[in-house]
């Protein structure tokens, strides 16, 4: 690892250690906020470390500052050469970042079991990433005794949320007069739900009051927060050596939100219908470009269209798989057509196929 990259990695480790230290501290003032803010910073610096280590760039041409958190996540999910995150891993980082936003700019109220779950999931992912991408062992830098500690680590995400929701129902019961406390607990679930819908925002007072009414009418948490219901928890080991990973349920779609979408996160669960986003077939694009499908494929190969999730995805419907392309891919191809010699592109493509 190069010296500058190593320095960035060490700063990331500093933030992770401080996050864990605050988690295990014996008093609560500012504890959840410190844990989330520092854990989020640890991930941003780690992703930048990995990008640099794999030969990528963390500063746009002419920019004075390095890329931000969301750009790091997007590059690590989509960019050829630096890709290191699965969609599930990206969701974990995104949820932590959404909580960080609330902790930094507003108020966040997490139960102890919630704070532990997301903190331990973060530490587990951090350990997985440095082991795979940097060939580093977290135990080299952090003694096992300093990892997040819980007397009752959760085994099932839905059971954990069910317990939270029962507390919320008790708080909004007629005569309880504890709607402020209920809204604080609902806010945590609403933050996750918004993040999973691809929306970067905090719930308003009106939205929280609407959630309270939905609870009072008897709606289940799965009805109110379908995105949260699409997640599941896997737990391995026990005691200090426990690993917690958050993932989507099998069959639930995770979509990349187009870059530049105002007020959006990087990933969304079921926010974008894949067939709506990847709305074009090869033949559709060929007709729009006035090229044959084979020559369109040759141009796609030259431009690396299929290397980006923003442009291309193989979508499975039943037992069949279909190559689908986005409008962004069409736009990229349309801009390239006047600037290239298609005869040369075709000959290069045929030669490449033979090798």
Tens of pLDDT, residue by residue over 193-214, are: 888 877 777 888 999 999 999 9
- Proportion of the chain above pLDDT 90, given as a percent: 54
- Cα separation of 311 and 293, whole Å? 17
- Whether 253 has a pLDDT exceeding 70, the answer reads no
pTM for the predicted model, two decimal places:
0.71
Of 337, 275, 274, the closest CA to residue 300 belongs to: 337
254-256 and 267-269 beta bridge pairing: antiparallel
Q: What is the mean pLDDT of residues 238-265?
A: 66
Is 274-354 a CATH 1.10.1660 domain?
yes
Domain residue ranges in the chain: 3-256+263-268, 274-354
Measured CA to CA, the distance from residue 41 to residue 20 in angstroms comes to 13
- Rounded to whole angstroms, how far apart are CA atoms 260 and 255? 15
Strand-pairing partners, residue 256, are 267
Beta strands in 250-305 (DSSP E): 254-256, 267-269
What average pLDDT score do residues 177-181 get? 86
Q: How far apart are CA 185 and CA 195, in angstroms?
A: 16
Stretch 244-254: mean pLDDT = 69
Give the dihedral of Cα atoms 33, 36, 39, 41; nearest 10 deg.
Answer: -80
How many residues comprise the chain? 355
DSSP summary character for residue 339: G
Predicted local distance difference test score (pLDDT) of residue 278: 84
């Amino acid at each position: 690892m190069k010296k500058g990259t190593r320095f960035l990695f060490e700063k990331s480790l500093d933030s992770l250690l401080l996050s864990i230290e605050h988690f295990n501290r014996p008093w609560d003032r500012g504890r959840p906020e410190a844990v989330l803010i520092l854990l989020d910073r640890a991930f941003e610096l780690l992703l930048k470390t990995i990008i640099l280590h794999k030969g990528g760039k963390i500063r746009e041409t002419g920019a004075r500052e390095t890329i931000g958190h969301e750009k790091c996540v997007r590059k690590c999910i989509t960019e050829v050469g630096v890709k290191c995150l699965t969609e599930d891993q990206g969701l974990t980082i995104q949820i932590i970042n959404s909580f960080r936003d609330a902790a930094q700019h507003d108020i966040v109220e997490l139960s102890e079991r919630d704070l532990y779950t997301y903190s331990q999931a973060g530490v587990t992912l951090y350990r997985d990433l440095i082991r795979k991408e940097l060939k580093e062992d977290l135990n080299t830098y952090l003694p096992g005794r300093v990892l997040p500690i819980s007397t009752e680590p959760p085994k099932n995400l839905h059971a954990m949320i069910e317990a939270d929701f029962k507390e919320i129902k008790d708080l909004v019961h007629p005569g309880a007069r504890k709607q402020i406390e209920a809204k604080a607990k609902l806010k945590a679930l609403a933050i996750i739900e918004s993040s999973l819908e691809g929306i970067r925002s905090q719930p308003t007072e009106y939205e929280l009051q609407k959630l309270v009414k939905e609870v009072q009418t008897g709606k289940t948490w799965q009805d109110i927060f379908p995105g949260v219901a699409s997640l599941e928890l896997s737990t391995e080991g026990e005691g200090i050596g426990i690993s917690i990973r958050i993932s989507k349920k099998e069959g639930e779609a995770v979509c990349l939100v187009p870059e530049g979408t105002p007020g959006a996160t990087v990933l969304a669960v079921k926010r974008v219908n894949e067939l709506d986003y990847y709305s074009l077939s090869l033949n559709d694009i060929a007709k729009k470009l006035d090229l044959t499908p084979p020559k369109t494929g040759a141009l796609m190969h030259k431009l690396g269209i299929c290397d980006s999730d923003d442009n291309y995805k193989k979508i499975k419907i039943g037992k069949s798989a279909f190559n689908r392309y986005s409008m962004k891919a069409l736009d990229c191809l349309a801009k390239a057509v006047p600037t290239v010699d298609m005869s040369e592109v075709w000959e290069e493509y045929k030669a490449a196929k033979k090798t």
